[in-house]
Structure 1
């Protein structure tokens, strides 16, 4: 049984990079970690704990992340679960409210509401007409705070060490 699953749902790759950084920090605390696209996760039965993140677009989670939560709600309710989303752009990176369905599912499984990380939108990674237009505007850039991501992942790793 693999110890930890770090799953992500992304459109332009930024959330995947956050998931990989989280996994690296948890691995540094001597945990076995698997990183998967949320669309590739059928069941979480083989994992002792789960970290799930989604890109946040227009206030919505990616559908594959929501499906993972719905499909595995009963199993997730019996393990430690941490949720995050990424996507706010600009200088105001305050916590973003999760979509209603994600809030409900987090409550159902006993997880805290998703932690918010800044997002990334650049001309090199933009996918779709609207994103490409926005990537040429004043909000374009990389607003991910790698120190904050590392600290959040460190806290997860410490919780898992204490639970051993």
Structure 2
């Protein structure tokens, strides 16, 4: 049976989009049908056997589109394997150590029996939308802290796990 995986994401300035697309690409390379879509555009999960949900972090909260996606699809998510990722620290901490999920994500993980979570570094560069984003950039705190090797390694681990599930 073909496995189809949805990688749904919430992103304001595009940093999380690239992470989600990278996860989907690694899964496809492993022979899994995977699609990355904005969380707000997903209407149902009927065609997917597993779901990855990613959200940018803003002031200690997951992106509203990721939060709303989880709430809207809670019933369907409870019946499939689910993984979460967050993106956000605008420094190298995510590459140096495991950063636990923020409280709202942690609660959602417990409710849905999520199989795993990882926090990746974020990216905030010139042209970012939002008053706070512009303030962060004015204060010299922006930059691209995404570690694509770590993202690819995490996604390859998902592919292995999904492969093992398919052969049970």
Shorter-chain TM-score above 0.5: yes
Give the deviation of 1:162 after TM superposition: 1.3
Q: Is the 8 A contact 1:98 1:113 kept in 2?
A: no
How many residues align? The count is: 163
1:37 maps to 38
1:140 maps to 142
Aligned pair 1:156/2:168, yes or no? no
Q: Is the 8 A contact 2:61 2:104 kept in 1?
A: no
CA deviations over 1:49-106 (Å, ceiling 9, x no partner)? 0011000000011111111111211211111111000000113234444343322221
1:21 maps to 22
**C-alpha separation between the residues in 1 aligned to 2:18 and 2:113?**
26
- Please give the root-mean-square deviation of Cα atoms over the aligned residues, in Å: 1.7
1:108 maps to 111
Name the SS for the 1:135 alignment partner.
helix
The gaps in structure 2 that reach 5 residues or longer are none
Q: Is the 8 A contact 2:52 2:82 kept in 1?
A: yes
**C-alpha separation between the residues in 2 aligned to 1:99 and 1:149?**
19
**C-alpha separation between the residues in 1 aligned to 2:71 and 2:160?**
27
CA deviations over 1:102-146 (Å, ceiling 9, x no partner)? 22221111104531000001114x112221231233321100011
